[in-house]
Structure 1
């Protein structure tokens, strides 16, 4: 019986297709399921046509509607077809004529390459390489090594003509998918062994027979990381209606291996840059764990903000169909979990949370009462980074505390007065029936340490922003057994000052840690522009505070236009330019709900909402949008902090001026604490990085007056 599978590249283009076109795709898919092979080729509505002067006669087109055509891999044997792209009529035919299919002799997967363009440009690159004394990009790798990684003779010729990574970027979109990824890893400095482990080994299929490069039916079955075989029309509608659902079908081999490993002997971690699928892996891990729960066992899925909680809940609803299983997962922020633990503890005393903007004045009052002459800012940071971080509960413990990482000097003689001020601060809060959020977490951790764990598994998303007090709570929430903690995070998205060494807290992930390097959200052009904001800046790893993270090999498989930047003289003119940009996106076919506007301050958010509404654009603050129906119709505006973990097809980041990033009030003066100063500056850089990497297809960055120094340092000009 014929069937139509789908290439992941088709799903990547879904946001660009109108609902009527998506419906026509379903109609075409149903024909493949309903008709015989002979009827398919004769069907005049489908018009499964071969193309003259095509590089590969197995690449054909089908009619989607009057203006759109699908490009299909139609093998000469077997009954499984693959929809590769849906494009406007003339573009589809032109693209289809250039493509050539093949079967990788190592991974056994089907690959598609732009053979016509490669044939056209390769000779020119070869001539340049022959005339240059410069060493070629892959000179240190033998033909045998490359062949063992799945590089075939055609790609080998092209690889041998390349001089640098910039030339590889020209070739990359044209190359076969698996081979492209191998070359990109090698170009970034990875060894043959590392590439084998990360790319080739997870994709290998158990088989004793040699690869038959003409057996497309079998090869398509071996390409499940890029080809989706959808079995029901409802499932296809779900995927087309909700882009997240595509992740239910596609996991890169390294992602699938991490998410569905039968068991880990202890805590496990997945790390990676924005858009690499960490959250998706975490959700798939929850799905896997749910299949093995015993009676009474529960799972805690936790993260940092309420916006992320909502995203996780929606994602789990899409991934886990059985509501009885979903009910066994508690999804909440760590702070909300801590509040619940304290509220349910015997003899619980209700206390209201102290807002962060109230904390400094409270410290100032405590210092005045004890006669401490230092700043309230110093006290707040000392309490956060030393007292709470090390769970210090007495003067003796404080006098022995490790203050490495604090740039403000303090003699042994000064510590008793500081401790007295800490005790005054906490006593005043208790008297007023209040506590800080981190106090709440620290107290909840102590409760669980006595009463015992509440969960069988804890899965943590956006782990990089959690404080040691929060980690102690999570450690106490689950017994130390196999599969206790599963952690997803990215140190490059650390926008809150919460450096932590999991190793020092007894959460050891050595040997159970995977790094994801491939971005599935943003285009390579957006990614390259955004990472320039951080390149060369040391970022501490999650698992070990003594080691730095690296962006080595971080890249995207998607390509498009680079970010647009706009310099305005006044804030009013900048808002006018924002309105024009949003109108341009909508006129180009982008739904309002696919557009996000991000800025540093709530005040600027309110102004942007007002200006866009006045221009007739349906707009709302991020936190007030209610449900999927509102999201589809409304441009959402929020602070950079609130955009964390979200994504949009088009993103405008506004107000990126020298008074906002870095924000002076968020930066500890260097003469007060030089180490904290650098940490604060890095947090501000990461904040801009996070905002920019929310964009999938289009990024627009603007400012009025003087641009942020971060832009200038990254080489960005208007």
Structure 2
């Protein structure tokens, strides 16, 4: 058997092939592994026309060729690229392939920035000396090429030819950081400082024997199994095979206490949680794991992904039963039932709650200086979100963004709160936060319900009391090591203000790590989404969450924005766009139409209108997995699609208004919701505003 190593460039190019050729890849690899000299493969040297004379070509079919590189010791081949005959050879013509001594990574060198006339007088790295670029990890032979980079888009083209450390440093330098600062930040992110177990690179340059071990995130050894058939047919996600080095280090690292993962939409925070959960299942099948999310829909998706990950890893499929995957409120309701409580959890919009508030605030004291609505807001936004359950804590609570309220008036307000909660108890009702509070008290009294590891996604939407519940479920005080892993993104807080874990007694200082490499969306979509929340009141310092150095790994078309004066115009444009995408090979389940059900962006539910226009619609509902075998364009609210992604997204922002030109007039949560909606798109984004 011949050893075959697949470079990430090969997998990326293979996934861009037409369906007919894509379906041939898995069979071709198996045949090559059995006999690389088989006549149908026609492995041949093309070194005379290549800068790297070792390069060989292989025949996928009559029109397509595979670029391969044999090892110097004859131990195997690295598969580098696949494309149409001439395009494949053109790609390889000017490249050199080598294992770089400096960082121990297999690297592809190329004159990838073409010389051409341009009106741009300054280049991206003009402010850095040759020595600084060399210190950043750029070889002397590549410095002149780096000097020709004009903007972040051309930087993306260049970055894929460098190892992850150089990618990170150059991205940060492009956003204004000095070399030393960029290096320090990159080292900390690629090798977490508190980590007790980091994979060390040990490479014999003359062989491929350890190449996949040295480059676990860029090269993987091909082994015959069914997963490759699934991968090349498009039913197996690439992240199940490849992880970015920053993700790999966070998966493998051990920490002396809880740690937190931050990052923009599409950086793979949930992916890290899934692989980390898999790691603990591999280490000990008796681990008791809790995977907690804020939204219910995401739990269905996570269960499906973790099940697939367990299966593809060759583990016992029953291990999924060792992981409780649930949403925050459903979990708290389950614990409430264990206490013998048989009531109902009710939201603020529930008719029963509205009637109780109406009765309680019927004769509000004018001296308070609060309207009825303001008093109700005070209950949910201050008392509940800050986890205040005693009057003494309320009397000293910081009420940022609220009008001043004297100590005496706070006592009066607290009386209204107590009357409201008394009425709830009479009817066996609880608010979601009351449910979480009771769950936390129960968990503190009953250590038997605690978990070995607690993973929490969407932490940006969780209250202080929810964070306290998470702490109590992890056995934090008894065994803090690796007990809690938190993941979230400040830009995706669509429900409430974000609180720091320290406010719940969860200490993560020095153990917060940010992912910067956006692999879901194109750079154009990433930039568009980021501008939606630019300059919004987001205190990144709370989470050490600076967005400098964020960059996507591929380019595409800029988002298209259309006017939305009426439904007829929107429907016509949507039908036109859908027809175009389908003609280009996109499937219905890869396309999603999104709208907001929030107060500020509230629009008429488009489901019936779109169905009447003849469109096949599959509505994304609560606790329902998005099954690819069901036909129909996906349609749902922005909040319902948190954690999901689609190749094409149509985002209906407003009807008859123009909101995007007056972003500063929108509230923080509205802008965050727009960010979430636009960042669901991987390749194409169309916005109606």
Q: TM-score, normalised by structure 1?
A: 0.84
Match of 2:250 in 1: 258
The answer on whether the counterparts of 1:259 and 1:282 sit within 8 Å (CA) in structure 2 is yes
Q: Using the alignment, how far apart are the partners of 1:204 and 1:153 within structure 2?
A: 28
Match of 2:687 in 1: 701
Task: Please state if 1:224 is matched with 2:222.
Answer: no
Q: 276-285 vs 567-576, which deviates more?
A: 567-576
Q: Do the aligned partners of residues 473 and 192 (structure 1) sit closer, same or farther apart at CA in structure 2, a change above 3 Å counting? A: closer
Q: Using the alignment, how far apart are the partners of 1:159 and 1:505 within structure 2?
A: 46
Matches within 5 A, 1:109-148: 109-115=105-111, 117-118=112-113, 120-121=114-115, 137=125, 139-140=127-128, 143=131, 146-148=133-135
Q: 577-586 vs 320-329, which deviates more?
A: 320-329
Q: Do the aligned partners of residues 690 and 660 (structure 1) sit closer, same or farther apart at CA in structure 2, a change above 3 Å counting? A: farther
Structure 1 portions without partners, runs of 5+: 668-676, 704-718
Q: Using the alignment, how far apart are the partners of 1:292 and 1:216 within structure 2?
A: 28
Task: Please state if 1:572 is matched with 2:593.
Answer: no
Match of 2:325 among 316, 319, 331: 331
Match of 1:78 among 52, 63, 74: 74
Match of 1:150 among 129, 137, 141: 137
> 1:60: Cα distance to partner?
4.0
SS at match of 1:642: helix
Match of 2:670 in 1: 684
Superposed CA offset, 1:22-42 (max 9, x none): 33111111112211x4x24xx
> 1:216: Cα distance to partner?
5.4
Match of 2:297 in 1: 307
Q: Do the aligned partners of residues 441 and 67 (structure 1) sit closer, same or farther apart at CA in structure 2, a change above 3 Å counting? A: farther
SS at match of 1:597: strand
The answer on whether the counterparts of 1:245 and 1:318 sit within 8 Å (CA) in structure 2 is no
Structure 2 portions without partners, runs of 5+: none
Task: Please state if 1:237 is matched with 2:224.
Answer: no
The answer on whether the counterparts of 2:191 and 2:249 sit within 8 Å (CA) in structure 1 is no
Q: Using the alignment, how far apart are the partners of 1:174 and 1:285 within structure 2?
A: 26
The answer on whether the counterparts of 1:10 and 1:84 sit within 8 Å (CA) in structure 2 is yes
Match of 1:517 in 2: 516
SS at match of 1:578: helix
Match of 1:489 in 2: 488
The answer on whether the counterparts of 1:383 and 1:422 sit within 8 Å (CA) in structure 2 is yes
Matches within 5 A, 1:253-402: 253-261=245-253, 263-293=254-284, 297-321=287-311, 322-345=316-339, 347-354=340-347, 356=349, 358=351, 359-360=353-354, 362-368=356-362, 374-398=370-394, 400-402=395-397
> 1:272: Cα distance to partner?
0.6
> 1:583: Cα distance to partner?
1.4
The answer on whether the counterparts of 1:60 and 1:96 sit within 8 Å (CA) in structure 2 is no
Aligned length: 666
Match of 1:29 in 2: 29
Match of 1:418 among 391, 413, 418: 413
The answer on whether the counterparts of 1:606 and 1:621 sit within 8 Å (CA) in structure 2 is no
Q: Using the alignment, how far apart are the partners of 2:487 and 2:470 within structure 1?
A: 14
SS at match of 1:191: helix
Match of 2:460 in 1: 464
Superposed CA offset, 1:601-627 (max 9, x none): 398685256426744x43211118965
Superposed CA offset, 1:59-92 (max 9, x none): 4443334454434344555343333344344433
Q: Do the aligned partners of residues 625 and 444 (structure 1) sit closer, same or farther apart at CA in structure 2, a change above 3 Å counting? A: closer
The answer on whether the counterparts of 2:105 and 2:163 sit within 8 Å (CA) in structure 1 is no
SS at match of 1:472: helix
> 1:278: Cα distance to partner?
0.5
Q: Using the alignment, how far apart are the partners of 2:605 and 2:385 within structure 1?
A: 36
Matches within 5 A, 1:529-678: 529-541=528-540, 545=542, 549-601=545-597, 606-608=605-607, 610-611=609-610, 614-615=613-614, 617-623=615-621, 629-630=627-628, 633-656=631-654
Match of 1:437 in 2: 432
Q: Using the alignment, how far apart are the partners of 1:609 and 1:58 within structure 2?
A: 61
The answer on whether the counterparts of 2:15 and 2:232 sit within 8 Å (CA) in structure 1 is no
Match of 2:83 among 46, 69, 87: 87
SS at match of 1:532: helix
Match of 2:8 in 1: 8
Q: Do the aligned partners of residues 294 and 158 (structure 1) sit closer, same or farther apart at CA in structure 2, a change above 3 Å counting? A: closer
Q: Using the alignment, how far apart are the partners of 1:355 and 1:538 within structure 2?
A: 25
Q: Do the aligned partners of residues 252 and 519 (structure 1) sit closer, same or farther apart at CA in structure 2, a change above 3 Å counting? A: same
> 1:331: Cα distance to partner?
0.2
Superposed CA offset, 1:181-207 (max 9, x none): 432232221433333444589998444
Q: TM-score, normalised by structure 2?
A: 0.87
The answer on whether the counterparts of 1:366 and 1:424 sit within 8 Å (CA) in structure 2 is yes
Superposed CA offset, 1:394-424 (max 9, x none): 44443x2313314222122222321121112
Q: Do the aligned partners of residues 260 and 136 (structure 1) sit closer, same or farther apart at CA in structure 2, a change above 3 Å counting? A: closer
Q: Using the alignment, how far apart are the partners of 2:455 and 2:16 within structure 1?
A: 33
